[in-house]
Amino acid sequence: MARYFDVHPVNPQRRAVDQVVDLLRSDGLIAYPTDSCYALGCRIGNRDGIDRIREIRHLDERHHFTLVCQDFAQLGQFVHVDNTMFRTIKASTPGSYTFILPATKEVPRRLLHPKKKTVGVRIPDHVVAQALLSELGEPLLSSTLLLPDQEEPMVQGWEIKERLDNAVDAVIDSGECGTVPTTVIDFSQGEPEIVRYGAGDVSRFE
């Protein structure tokens, strides 16, 4: 049965954040809010967590997982960002964008796209997500909480608790969060390619 955390959206309770991070460090899987809907998240090295995300969402090996980072400095440890794309990506973070970029050696091979050797990265503009990342001290391996039988992501904490009570270890509810997934931009070939239109403004990438 998943633990349910009611977390203040502006001033997250330190004790609740600490308890969720303890679960993550114990290889737990959580459902947590971001600025662009809920996500499933676990530590990068959590093999079981990755398998559970794949099972919940019915994902194949070609799925791009996302490393949700606290800031641009952390993001730069896991992906290669050359000078031509640096300013554009920096100006778009934090925000509702996921960038697909060539991965560094810090990213486990099993998380990479099997052919492109790329991974998705993003920096959320959400107080609770940022509180978790700050306490954890590393990115959260994440995937949008979109179930295979649904056309839109789940956005209500209580509903997620009911639906995934036996599939995740914790659900964080901090009230309303984003309801539209991130805009996904593939920079792996140098020039930006918009893979998915979502919450972020795409004008600077077109």
Whether residue 103 is predicted with pLDDT greater than 90 in this model: the reply is yes
Q: Tell me, rounded to whole angstroms, the distance of Cα 86 from its chain centroid.
A: 21
Query: How many structural domains does the chain have?
Result: 1
Q: What is the pLDDT of residue 183?
A: 96
Q: What is the pLDDT of residue 172?
A: 98
pLDDT digits (tens, 9 = 90+) for 48-98: 999 999 999 999 877 888 999 999 999 999 999 988 888 999 999 999 999
Q: What is the pLDDT of residue 84?
A: 81
Q: What is the pLDDT of residue 154?
A: 82
pTM of the model: 0.95
The closest of 165, 95, 157, 147 to 125, measured between CA atoms, is 95
Whether residue 198 is predicted with pLDDT greater than 90 in this model: the reply is yes
Q: What is the pLDDT of residue 165?
A: 97
Q: Which domain holds residue 98?
A: 3-205
116 burial type by CB count under 10 A (0-12 exposed, 13-18 middle, 19+ buried): middle
The Cα 116–Cα 101 span in angstroms is 9
CATH of the domain at 82: 3.90.870.10
pLDDT digits (tens, 9 = 90+) for 112-158: 887 889 999 999 999 999 999 999 999 999 999 999 988 888 888 99
pLDDT digits (tens, 9 = 90+) for 167-189: 999 999 998 888 899 999 999 98
Q: How confident is the model at residue 7 (pLDDT cuts 50, 70, 90)?
A: very high
Q: What is the pLDDT averaged over residues 100-106?
A: 95
Q: What is the pLDDT averaged over residues 23-33?
A: 98
